[in-house]
Structure 1
Amino acid sequence: MKKLIALFGILLLGFQFAQAQDEDIFGIDSKAKSKTRKSQSNIGNVVRNAMGNFSFEIFTGGAFHMNEMVFTSLSPSLYPISQFQNIEVPQQVTADDTLTFSRNNFAVPINAAVKINLFNTLTLGAGYGREFGQMDNLRSGDFEFQFQQQSYTLDRAFGSIGLVLYDANKRAKFLQWKYRAFDSNNIMMQSEKNQRIRQIYPWRFIAESEFGNVYMRKNFDPLINTDNQSFFNIALRVEKEFSEYTKFFVKTGAEFRNYNYQTEIPEEFQTIGQNLFFAQFGLSISLPSTKRCKVPGCGVVMKHLHGGVEYRGSSIFHQQNRRVGQWY
C-alpha cells in the first residue's frame, strides 16, 4: 500500500512538472486569454489597442469623365464659341439660343489616405490626391466651346465614410442563422457549421463615399473659377485580406463635381457639370497593435504570450495564425 501511494505521488509530481513545462516554454504561455494585453503598462496597452484601428492606404486607377454645359447667355459673343463644321454655311449663336455642349475624356487619379476602423462596422478617413486629366473642347452640333489647353492637373482633399456590408464577422452570424433549424444534438450539422465558421474568410465588402474640395494646379482655362469646387462620390469597395494587417482592394463608383466658366465684364458664368466613373485599386496597411517578439530563443511564428503579453512572430505581410498550406 505504501509503495502504491509513493508511486501515485511520483506520477502526480511528474504530471504537474509536465504541465508547468507546457505553460512556459521559452517564456511562452500556452493558454491565451480572451482579452490579452498588448503591453506591460496600462497606458501602453490602451495605445496599442487604439493603434490597431488605424490604417494607411494608397490607391490609383482610371476614370472616364463626362462633361456637359447647358449654355444660355445674353452676350454669347463673350465666350470662345466657334463653328467647327459646315463652315460653308456660317452661323452665329444668339441670345435666344440654348445649346447643350458636351464631351468625354479620361483622367488618372493618385490618392493616399488614413482610416480608422470603428467596431468593424464603420470606417472614417481623410486623404489627399492628385488627378491628371484631359479636357477636350465641348461640342454642340456645329459649334465648339474652346478651352485654352486640353490638359489639367488638380488636387483633391477629401474625407470618407464607409459602411461594412459583409465580412468574416457577418458571415459567421449568417452561418449561425442559416443552421438555426438544426437541433443542437445533430452532431454532424453542428460540426459542419463550426468548421465553416472557423474557415478563413478574407473578403470584405464596403459601401464607401468620399467628399471634399478640388484645387486646380494646372487649369485647362484661366476663366474657370477654382474657388470652393466641391465634389462627392459613391463607390463599392472589395477588400482581400493577405494578413491581419495587409489588404488589397478594388473599388468602382461615380463622382460628381461642377466647374464655373466665369466672364469678367459683364460678369456671367456657365456651369460645366462633370461626372466621373472610376475604377481604382490599392494597398491598405494597418498599424500592428501587437509588438514583434524579440525574446531570445523563441522561434514561434504565430501570435503567442510572454508573461501575459501578446506578441507576434511574423511580419505584418504574413498571416499570424497560419493554417495548413499557409507556411510558404
Structure 2
Amino acid sequence: MKLKAALPKRFSAIIALAFCLVCPQVFGQQDNSIPLDHFYVDRQGPSFFRKVLSKVTFGLSTGYGLTTFKHSLDGYGIQQNPGERPIIFPIGDAASTSGYSNWFNRVDSAVINILPTSFRASSDTADIGFRNKAFNIPLKATLHVEFLDRYRIGGGYSFEYVNLRSFVPTKYDESINLFKPDVPSFFLKKYFFMLGASVYRYYEYLLVVDANIGGYSLGKKFDKEVINKGVYFNLGVAVEREMSEYFRVFVRPSYEFKNFKTSIEGADAIKHKFNAFYVNVGVTYRIPELRRCFLKTCNIQINHAHGNREYRSRVHPIHKKQNPHYGENHPTLIKYKGRNKKKLNPY
C-alpha cells in the first residue's frame, strides 16, 4: 500500500520538472539570468571632435644659432683708401668717381677719392668679397598634426635676435679694411611650413627627421625697396624623449639655407648668402583625448569614469608616463607626499 501511494507522488514530481524545462521554450523565455547592464554602465569615451583635436601638438623651443654671411662682388671692384671705409664700384664704370659705401642692408652712394696710396682690386682678376659670422638666439613656436603614429605636417613661426660682426674681406685682407655694416644687430622673423616623420624608436626615445620651408623678414633696418628675398630651407634631425602620453622634450640640430639680393640701379645685384647652423632645445605638448576630471576632490591617478563619462586624472603630472595599474610610475603615493604627509587623513 505504501508503494502504491508513493508512485503518484513521484510521478507528479517528474511531470512538474518536465513542465519547468519545457515552459520557457513554449513562452519564448530564452534566458532567466539577471542582465549585467543593471550593474555595469557602458563608458562614454571621447567625442569625435576630441579625437581629432588630440592629433594636434604644440611646440616651443629656443637655442643657439651660428650664421655665416658671405657675398661675392662679381662685376664690381673695390677702392680702398687708408683709414677709410672700403667702397665698391661697377667694373664697367672704372673711370667714374662714384661708388657705394653700403651694399648690405641698403644702398648708400659715395664719392671715390683716388690717391697715390689707394688700393684697388677687381673681380676680373680675383674672387673678391666679404664674409662674416653672427650668432642667433631663436624663439620658435610650432603646431603640427601627427597621423599614422609616424608622419607629421604643420607650420610655425620663429623670432630671432641676430648679432652681427664686422665683415672680413675674402681676398687681400692685408690691404682692404673691414666692412662695418650700419646694423650691428637685427631681428629676423620666419614663417614656415613643416613636414616630417619619425624614423626610429628606442623605448621612450624617438628619432624624427623634418624640414621647414618658408619665408622670412629682415626687419625695419633693411630697405625693402632694394632687398629681394627668396624662400629658405631648413633640414633637421630631432631626438625626442617621451616624458608622458602628452609631453615630450627634444633636441634638434639643423642646417638652414637662405639668401637675399641687394639691387643696385644700373649695375648687377649683389647676392648675400647667410646659411646657419642651429641647435634648438624645447618641449611639445599634445592635446589629450579625455577631458580633465571635473571633481576637484578627486585624487584618482588613472583614466576613470564618473557616471557613464570617462575623464583623465586631475593629479597626474604631465611629465610622468602613466602606469595602467595606479596611474603614476612613482614609488611614493600622493597621500604620503607634500602637504599630505602632515594630514591624518589625506583623502
Same fold (TM over 0.5): yes
Report which of the two has the higher share of helix.
1
Q: Is the 8 A contact 1:159 1:212 kept in 2?
A: yes
Q: Is the 8 A contact 1:80 1:146 kept in 2?
A: no
Letter in 2 for 1:255: E
Per-residue deviation, 1:316: 6.0
Letter in 1 for 2:248: K
**Structure 2 equivalent of residue 257 of structure 1:** 258
**Structure 2 equivalent of residue 159 of structure 1:** 193
Per-residue deviation, 1:311: 2.1
Q: Is the 8 A contact 2:59 2:143 kept in 1?
A: yes
Q: Is the 8 A contact 1:62 1:109 kept in 2?
A: yes
Structure 2 residue ranges without an equivalent (≥5)? 1-32, 78-87, 90-98, 103-109, 335-347
Per-residue deviation, 1:202: 2.0
Per-residue deviation, 1:323: 5.4
Letter in 2 for 1:137: S
Equivalent-residue separation in structure 1 for 2:313 and 2:294 (angstroms)? 8
Output aligned runs, 1:86-105, within 5 Å: 90-94=118-122, 96-97=124-125, 98-105=127-134
Letter in 2 for 1:57: G
Query: Residues 226 and 95 (structure 1 numbering): CA distance in 2 closer, same or farther, change over 3 Å?
Result: closer
Query: Residues 88 and 300 (structure 1 numbering): CA distance in 2 closer, same or farther, change over 3 Å?
Result: farther
Per-residue deviation, 1:226: 4.1
Q: Is the 8 A contact 1:127 1:157 kept in 2?
A: yes
**Structure 2 equivalent of residue 280 of structure 1:** 280
The DSSP-based 3-state class of the residue aligned with 2:194 is strand
Q: Is the 8 A contact 1:250 1:281 kept in 2?
A: yes
**Structure 2 equivalent of residue 132 of structure 1:** 161
Q: CA RMSD in A?
A: 3.3
Aligned residues: 259
**Partner deviation per Cα, 1:40-76 (whole Å, 9 max, x = no partner):** xxxxx21111111001111111101112212122564
User: How high is the sequence identity, in percent, across the aligned residues?
Assistant: 20
Equivalent-residue separation in structure 2 for 1:226 and 1:316 (angstroms)? 49
Letter in 2 for 1:278: Y
Letter in 2 for 1:254: Y
Query: Residues 223 and 102 (structure 1 numbering): CA distance in 2 closer, same or farther, change over 3 Å?
Result: farther
Equivalent-residue separation in structure 1 for 2:247 and 2:268 (angstroms)? 51
Equivalent-residue separation in structure 2 for 1:73 and 1:145 (angstroms)? 19
Structure 2 length-normalised TM: 0.65
Per-residue deviation, 1:294: 3.1
Query: Residues 300 and 274 (structure 1 numbering): CA distance in 2 closer, same or farther, change over 3 Å?
Result: same
Per-residue deviation, 1:210: 0.7
**Partner deviation per Cα, 1:179-198 (whole Å, 9 max, x = no partner):** xxxxxxxxxxxxxxxxxxxx
Equivalent-residue separation in structure 2 for 1:133 and 1:296 (angstroms)? 47
The DSSP-based 3-state class of the residue aligned with 1:149 is coil
**Partner deviation per Cα, 1:232-284 (whole Å, 9 max, x = no partner):** 11111111122111111110010110021222x32431111111111011111
**Partner deviation per Cα, 1:12-45 (whole Å, 9 max, x = no partner):** xxxx99x999x85xx7x7xxxxxx8533xxxxx2
Equivalent-residue separation in structure 2 for 1:298 and 1:94 (angstroms)? 78
Output aligned runs, 1:165-176, within 5 Å: 165-167=199-201
Output aligned runs, 1:217-228, within 5 Å: 217-219=219-221, 221-222=222-223, 225-228=226-229
**Structure 1 equivalent of residue 23 of structure 2:** none
**Structure 2 equivalent of residue 113 of structure 1:** 142
Letter in 1 for 2:232: F
**Structure 2 equivalent of residue 149 of structure 1:** 183
Structure 1 length-normalised TM: 0.68
Which consecutive segments of 4 or more residues in structure 1 shift more than 6 A?
Answer: none
Letter in 2 for 1:158: F
Letter in 1 for 2:300: V
Q: Is the 8 A contact 1:38 1:49 kept in 2?
A: no
Equivalent-residue separation in structure 2 for 1:257 and 1:325 (angstroms)? 47
Q: Is the 8 A contact 1:224 1:259 kept in 2?
A: no
Q: Is the 8 A contact 1:262 1:268 kept in 2?
A: yes
Per-residue deviation, 1:123: 0.9
Structure 1 residue ranges without an equivalent (≥5)? 1-15, 30-35, 40-44, 172-200
Query: Residues 286 and 88 (structure 1 numbering): CA distance in 2 closer, same or farther, change over 3 Å?
Result: farther
**Structure 2 equivalent of residue 38 of structure 1:** 45
Per-residue deviation, 1:89: 5.5
**Partner deviation per Cα, 1:143-198 (whole Å, 9 max, x = no partner):** 3444222211121011111110123xxx5xxxxxxxxxxxxxxxxxxxxxxxxxxx
> 1:59 aligned to 54, 58, 61, which one?
61
Q: Is the 8 A contact 2:322 2:328 kept in 1?
A: no
The answer on 1:325 being equivalent to 2:292 is no
